[in-house]
Amino acid sequence: MKLLFIKSILEGDYSSLKIKLIIVAIMWLFVFAAIAIDLRSGYMKAKIRGEARTSYGLKRTISKVNLYYTALFFAFMLDVIITFVITSFDAPIPPIPFVTILASIYLIYVEGRSVLEKAEDKEKIRLSKNLDDIVTLIENKDDLLTALSEVIKKNKNHSHKKTEEDHGKD
């Protein structure tokens, strides 16, 4: 069984071509599953933390899908080009879509790290912010009302700045 894309087409070996395309499709499905797991994980972690779940996260996921599948399509094109090289020079390169497989492995790894890091990093940021608020309250312990006012203003400014940054990314 030949696993070269172009050679399979030129020789009419459609069963071999079918196997190669199934390998590519499976890799693409694995990447999609990794993206879906990351989306679900982010949604659930935001829900647990009591954060609002807005369309901003979904927009980022859609942008990510677009970017990832563009990369996977380029990987597929490289696999086809490599087929020309292997066919022309009888190079000893494995005749499988290895660029697509490598790209898929990398993207799945990135998504896996995202699932594992996301909550931990957000909690660290939140803890740091809470510690800053506590320091402000302690510094102004004599005038508790002023201290509370400062903390509220700081949090309000931070949330307005974050909202403006989020809208600026769209």
Chunk the chain into consecutive blocks of 10 residues (it has 170) and report each block's average pLDDT, rounded to whole numbers.
60 74 94 93 81 79 93 92 74 75 93 76 62 65 66 64 48
Q: pLDDT value at position 25?
A: 95
The string of pLDDT tens digits covering residues 18-42 is: 888 899 999 999 999 999 999 898 8
Please list, in sequence order, all residues whose beta carbon lies within 8 angstroms of the beta carbon of residue 81, skipping any fewer than 6 positions away. Answer: none
Q: Do 136 and 154 touch, CB atoms closer than 8 A?
A: yes
Q: Which two tokens stand for residue 13?
A: 């070996």
Amino acid present at 133: D
The string of pLDDT tens digits covering residues 78-87 is: 988 887 777 6
Please list, in sequence order, all residues whose beta carbon lies within 8 angstroms of the beta carbon of residue 4, skipping any fewer than 6 positions away. Answer: 16, 83, 86, 87, 95
Angstrom distance (rounded) from CA 116 to CA 113: 5
Q: Which of 8, 36, 39, 12 is closest to 22 using CA atoms?
A: 8
pTM: 0.63
Angstrom distance (rounded) from CA 126 to CA 94: 49
Q: pLDDT value at position 166?
A: 47
Q: Do 87 and 4 touch, CB atoms closer than 8 A?
A: yes
The Cβ of residue 69 has, within 10 Å, a number of other Cβ atoms equal to: 15
